[in-house]
Amino acid sequence: MGKHKDRIVMITGASKGLGKALALEFARQGAHLAICARHEQELVKVKAEAEQNGVKVLAVSADVSVPRDVERFTAVAEDHFGRIDVLINNASTLGPSPIPNLLDYPEDDYAEVLRVNAVSPFLVTKRVLPGMLQRNYGSIINVTSEAGHTGYAGWGAYGISKFAVEGLTETWAEELSRTGVRINMVDPGEMNTEMHDLAVPDCDYELADPKEVVPVFLYLASEDALLINGIRFQAQEFREEELI
């Protein structure tokens, strides 16, 4: 068991890719999990694998861009565990693939991508935050992208939605600066995931395994990062020893 033993960690979009890697590593470190995703069958498999570490796992099929689903998921999690120590807003969608240029981008798809990627972290954080503030303790981690830091042609609504996530993180970090709750963001970089396959179908260069970018999330969720707030981390360049 690691430094996260008995911590309660909530992860959205935990059925595959980075979300799955995060869930399994936190479970290996002894954290109990509240996980959700829209794909119930895959989520149940993650739950079963995580439980092999002897931790408690609450898995709920939910679309966190829908307020009613957010309320159901968070209420059940808080009732089940009594608190949420760490929230990782990971759920996202790419939108149409191949990604069209903005001039050709379907309006409904544009709105859907922003709803899932930019509205959901607002909804979940807004619902979980009061409990964290009451305890004056908590770590919130938003997943961003290089395409949300620099505008790249061909990344469409996905990149724009991540710009919104970065602004959301910085604004909330300022609002929380005098509390015991911290909020940061992580750019995991390009990873070997289903979403990357859709975004860059003819990729001819090496990609990171999602497991390789987990350490920065473990750090931000730990006691070592109590004073870290409003910072953007690049996961593939992260070295915890450089911070000591």
- Round the CA-based radius of gyration of the chain to a whole number and report it: 17
Query: How many of the other CB atoms lie within 10 Å of CB of 220?
Result: 23
Starting at the edge strand that comes first in sequence, how are the strands of the sheet with 181-187 ordered?
A: 57-61, 32-37, 8-12, 86-89, 138-143, 181-187, 232-234
Cα→Cα distances 163→17, 23, 106, 149, 181, Å: 21, 25, 19, 6, 22
Bridge partners (DSSP) of residue 60 are: 36
Could you list the active site residues? 158
What are the structure tokens assigned to 238, written together?
Answer: 């992260």
Q: How many other CB atoms are there within 10 angstroms of residue 146's CB atom?
A: 15
Please calculate the CA angle 166-179-122 and round it to the nearest 5 degrees.
35
